[in-house]
Structure 1
Amino acid sequence: MATSHLEYNEKTSATEVASAFASHIRDKNVVITGVGPNSLGEALALAIGSQKPRNLILASRTKAKVQEVAAKVQDLSPETSVEAVVLNLASQKSIHEAASKIQSLADRVDTLINNAGMMVLERETTDEGIEVQFGTNHVGHFLFTNLLIPQLKNAAKVSGPGSTRIINVTSAGHRLSPVRFSDYNLEGKDVPIDERPPDGLPPMFSTTAEGYNGWLAYGQSKTANILFTVYLSQHMASSGIVSYGVHPGSIWTGLSRGLDDIGYETMSKTSSFWKNADQGAATMLVAAYDPALKAVSDPSEVYLSDCQFAKTAPHAVNMDSAERLFHLSEKLVGIKFAL
């Protein structure tokens, strides 16, 4: 599979992509998580908002911040209905409330962009006691997405196959760790070889005596984003819904607010090209609206970077792991979902 714009690359902007796919955005209902000022979420909202979607629902943990972005988009596109929804992905109660609010606002969702994410170096947990990066970046979005499946299916019924899409924002950081099914809270339990980090990582990626390493926890959560995408791509195609995982590229965002000096130094060495927010949001829009992207038969073809398809670490596209993660996630949210 290939995109329809092979000339797009790391320098392409979301504004440019939205303009190119304007007819696929117009009159659609769009939900974006992780929307705040000076963020990838804001860049996504502004780019999509510029092409007259019918409803743009922006979700974030902080009401004032998401309302600030909503006001900007409303000024840009007065004919679009723009709604701000409070969503704390570290609280399953908040996720249920946000999903219920969205269900009352729109009977269908054409595009869901799970953009929110966090990275911390010290152990934190969600309201339910799950390690906070796994719990927020994956489990929170897992619950949120599944609660909106009826709205996504409604959209797919009135759109062509492959037009309704779920975009999960992941990271090249998925290469740091598989999902640690035996120790997803990183509590120091012994894990089998296939759940351990790859060989050759620097000492800073080693777990502590208590079992925790923020980098590995982040890597696990980003692998989970891709495995969830793999599961959705295989199980939702019959409903006309497709899913893609996206690495935005190297960009300094609020995601890095939890890093210490060593963390900043490490991050600064990971790329020779640092994107602005508009460039960072571009690949999400390719994944969300490029008509060349349809149902995925090969689980390895779900990942995009720099506006083109890219390869993942093998542990991120293993179908058995995707199935196992889905059922673990159901257990962690206390609900069985029939897709």
Structure 2
Amino acid sequence: MPEKVVLITGATSGLGLETAKKVAKQSQDFHIIIPCRNIKKGEAVKQQIIEYSGNSNIDLLYMDLSDISSIKPFVEEFKKLNKSIYALVCNAGISRFGKNEKEITAEGFDIIFVSNHLGHFLLTKLLLPFMEKKGKIFYTSSDMHNPPPSEEDPKFEWIGVDALAHPDDKLAVSPQRYAYSKLFNLYYVYELTRRLKAEKSEILVNAFNPGLMRTHLIEGGNDQFYEFIRINVPERYGDLEKSSSAYAELIYSDDIVLSSGHFYDRSVRPCFTSPLSYNEENAKELWEKSEEYLKSF
């Protein structure tokens, strides 16, 4: 069988790492490429994957999704490998739950906006020409795209892309930024699906929800946040082993994902997302604003 390249962001820990291990173990034909900010840490992760899977076909390339300027150089390095991509898994993300200071990137954007959306938007755009004809693209979203109401945020409404790319002082420390970033993932998946279908492309684009898990995503543990979820929406919990197994199966199987624009919820079965997530005008706004923000890159 020909080699199958699977590129997974956020694969140095948590869901991404466990998914990468399972895909690598499925077959020696899988070639795993892991972008990482810290190559030294990446080498340790690479060894974990090899020991678990027996598959040594693992490559590390430097990239920092929160630094837009690092993405094009990453793609240039990838091009040198002369590979096509069987599956692109845009999994990396941050929450900043428990962080109470405003964090702005060198380019002037909110760090969650860049790390969870804009970086992947650019990465996917640049890698599309290298996808296999029937390649797969997955975005790790969350059912937090439709967050439970709270006293601070009783209603989750669309406030526009600019407000989230450049949040005011109150929004800049709000956990709602994470929820909006997960909504962005769905807007992007649904909009890219429409655009690829219009071009008669056979590339498949879908989203996956692993559920809320105790991983590095919840910085500092944030037990108060977990207690809120446990009491109010216990069904939103996710199991790392089960979710990574389902995600890996979606990635490596050629018999499950046969069409685009779906949301897989902790399993290989698609389900519906929130009414707000299907708003095509909002999705178009996000796409066009993202293109505008990236003009200089």
Q: Which residue matches 1:332?
A: 293
Alpha-carbon separation, structure 2, partners of 1:33 and 1:103 = 17
Alpha-carbon separation, structure 2, partners of 1:220 and 1:106 = 36
Alpha-carbon separation, structure 2, partners of 1:42 and 1:89 = 17
Asked whether the equivalents of residues 116 and 181 of structure 2 are also in contact (C-alpha less than 8 Å), the reply is yes
CA 1:180–1:311: 2 relative to 1, 3 Å: same
Moved over 6 A (4+): none
Alpha-carbon separation, structure 1, partners of 2:53 and 2:248 = 18
Q: Following TM superposition, by how much is the alpha carbon of 1:335 offset from its aligned partner in structure 2, in angstroms? A: 6.3
Q: Which residue matches 1:293?
A: 257
Higher mean Cα deviation, 56-65 or 134-143? 56-65
Q: Which residue matches 1:98?
A: 74
Q: Which runs of 5+ in 2 are unaligned?
A: 148-155
Q: Following TM superposition, by how much is the alpha carbon of 1:291 offset from its aligned partner in structure 2, in angstroms? A: 2.0
Q: Which runs of 5+ in 1 are unaligned?
A: 1-22, 157-162, 189-208
Q: Which residue matches 1:171?
A: 142
CA 1:240–1:36: 2 relative to 1, 3 Å: same
Give the 5 Å matches for 1:187-226: 187-188=167-168, 210-226=170-186
Count the aligned residue pairs: 279
Alpha-carbon separation, structure 2, partners of 1:147 and 1:179 = 28
SS in 2 for 1:107: coil
User: Is residue 146 from structure 1 mapped to residue 125 from structure 2 by the alignment?
Assistant: yes
CA 1:324–1:151: 2 relative to 1, 3 Å: same
Q: Which residue matches 1:242?
A: 204
SS in 2 for 1:236: helix
Asked whether the equivalents of residues 111 and 165 of structure 1 are also in contact (C-alpha less than 8 Å), the reply is yes
Q: Which residue matches 2:104?
A: 125
User: Is residue 183 from structure 1 mapped to residue 163 from structure 2 by the alignment?
Assistant: yes
SS in 2 for 1:124: coil
Higher mean Cα deviation, 57-66 or 217-226? 57-66
CA RMSD of aligned residues (A): 2.4
Asked whether the equivalents of residues 248 and 282 of structure 1 are also in contact (C-alpha less than 8 Å), the reply is no
Alpha-carbon separation, structure 1, partners of 2:229 and 2:25 = 32
Asked whether the equivalents of residues 90 and 135 of structure 1 are also in contact (C-alpha less than 8 Å), the reply is yes
Q: Which residue matches 2:247?
A: 284
User: Is residue 312 from structure 1 mapped to residue 273 from structure 2 by the alignment?
Assistant: yes
Q: Following TM superposition, by how much is the alpha carbon of 1:92 offset from its aligned partner in structure 2, in angstroms? A: 0.9
Alpha-carbon separation, structure 2, partners of 1:322 and 1:250 = 24
Q: Following TM superposition, by how much is the alpha carbon of 1:321 offset from its aligned partner in structure 2, in angstroms? A: 1.9
* 1:139-159 deviation per Cα after TM superposition (whole angstroms, max 9, x unaligned): 01111111111111xx11xxx
Indicate the percent of aligned positions where both proteins have the same amino acid: 23
Alpha-carbon separation, structure 2, partners of 1:282 and 1:268 = 23
Alpha-carbon separation, structure 2, partners of 1:216 and 1:263 = 13
CA 1:148–1:126: 2 relative to 1, 3 Å: same
CA 1:106–1:54: 2 relative to 1, 3 Å: farther
Alpha-carbon separation, structure 2, partners of 1:103 and 1:252 = 35
Higher mean Cα deviation, 178-187 or 64-73? 178-187
Alpha-carbon separation, structure 2, partners of 1:85 and 1:92 = 15
Asked whether the equivalents of residues 229 and 236 of structure 2 are also in contact (C-alpha less than 8 Å), the reply is no
SS in 1 for 2:83: coil
Alpha-carbon separation, structure 2, partners of 1:327 and 1:35 = 29
* 1:14-54 deviation per Cα after TM superposition (whole angstroms, max 9, x unaligned): xxxxxxxxx9xx731110000224x1111011101002234
Asked whether the equivalents of residues 49 and 55 of structure 2 are also in contact (C-alpha less than 8 Å), the reply is no
Q: Following TM superposition, by how much is the alpha carbon of 1:294 offset from its aligned partner in structure 2, in angstroms? A: 2.1
TM-score (norm 2): 0.84
CA 1:275–1:172: 2 relative to 1, 3 Å: closer
Q: Following TM superposition, by how much is the alpha carbon of 1:333 offset from its aligned partner in structure 2, in angstroms? A: 1.6
CA 1:78–1:285: 2 relative to 1, 3 Å: closer
SS in 1 for 2:273: coil
Asked whether the equivalents of residues 211 and 239 of structure 2 are also in contact (C-alpha less than 8 Å), the reply is no
User: Is residue 49 from structure 1 mapped to residue 13 from structure 2 by the alignment?
Assistant: no
